[in-house]
């Protein structure tokens, strides 16, 4: 969903400036908020709603957000919304639907697009295995390309803690990726053996 698709019908702080400020935040940061929610465990089918919720909270609290600290506010709000979504899904005990990219598309797809879908699915699986505190540092550094000082400021933790979590995240990421690749290769080999006469 593009930033123009996020409705801001929540009661805004008084004044035209508040409305303009919220719209600017949506325009600048909607993609970042959506990606953050996804990488913190919000299923793809719920990511638009989670992003919408972040901006509704932002609209209601716009006067409390210190200028220059908007991205930190949005990120913390996205983390809270993501945690709420995960808890809600757990309470409902729903089994998430298979991602749409795993469905068989009757139209032929280029190999490149298929490879990208598989890579994203693998990335999501690996990230799901990381503990939340290291996952968020990994996502911000490796995927959002923020610096250690920027992450420290965003999360409100010391730079040394960011570096330590990043190191742990990279180790866990490589182990989880290797395990998933091995499992996938084993499944491919097993399926090939079934097909071979």
Name the token pair of 73.
Answer: 């506010």
Residue 83 or residue 4, greater confidence: 83
Nearest to 2 by CA among 36, 28, 31: 31
- pLDDT, tens digit, for every residue of 137-186? 999 999 888 999 999 998 899 999 999 999 999 999 899 888 888 887 87
pLDDT of residue 19: 87
Mean pLDDT of 100-128: 66
Domains of the chain: 1-98 (1.10.1740), 108-197 (1.10.10.10)
pLDDT of residue 45: 92
Q: Look at residue 6 and tell me whether its pLDDT is greater than 90.
A: no
What is the DSSP track for 138-179?
Answer: HIIIIIS---HHHHHHHHT--HHHHHHHHHHHHHHHHHHHHH
- pLDDT-above-90 percentage for the chain: 40
DSSP code, position 66:
P
Mean pLDDT of 73-88: 90
Residue 76 or residue 103, greater confidence: 76
Residue 104 or residue 18, greater confidence: 18
pLDDT of residue 35: 92
pLDDT band at residue 9 under the 50/70/90 scheme: very low
Q: Look at residue 197 and tell me whether its pLDDT is greater than 80.
A: no
pLDDT band at residue 13 under the 50/70/90 scheme: very low
Mean pLDDT of 100-125: 64
Q: Look at residue 83 and tell me whether its pLDDT is greater than 50.
A: yes
Q: Look at residue 3 and tell me whether its pLDDT is greater than 50.
A: no
**Cα distances (Å, whole numbers) of residue 77 to 74, 171, 175:** 5, 28, 30
**Cα distances (Å, whole numbers) of residue 11 to 30, 56, 76, 109, 185:** 19, 9, 21, 44, 53
- pLDDT, tens digit, for every residue of 25-77? 999 999 999 999 998 889 989 999 999 999 999 999 999 999 888 998 999 99
């Amino acid at each position: 969903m593009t930033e123009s698709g996020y409705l801001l019908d929540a009661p805004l702080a008084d004044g035209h400036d508040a409305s303009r400020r919220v719209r600017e935040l949506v325009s600048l940061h909607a993609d970042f908020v959506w990606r953050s929610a996804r990488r913190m465990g919000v299923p793809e089918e719920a990511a638009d709603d989670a992003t919408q919720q972040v901006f509704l909270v932002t609209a209601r609290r716009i006067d409390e957000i210190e200028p220059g600290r908007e991205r930190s506010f949005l990120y913390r709000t996205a983390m809270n919304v993501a945690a709420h979504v995960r808890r809600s899904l757990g309470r409902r005990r729903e089994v998430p639907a298979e991602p749409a990219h795993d469905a068989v598309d009757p139209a032929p797809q280029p190999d490149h697009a298929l490879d990208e879908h598989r890579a994203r699915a693998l990335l999501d699986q690996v990230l799901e295995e990381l503990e939340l505190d290291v996952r968020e540092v990994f996502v911000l550094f490796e995927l959002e390309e923020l610096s250690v000082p920027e992450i420290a400021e965003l999360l409100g933790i010391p730079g040394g803690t960011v570096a330590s979590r990043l190191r742990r995240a990279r180790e866990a990421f490589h182990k989880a990726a290797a395990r998933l690749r091995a499992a996938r290769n084993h499944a491919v080999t097993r399926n090939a053996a079934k097909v071979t006469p």
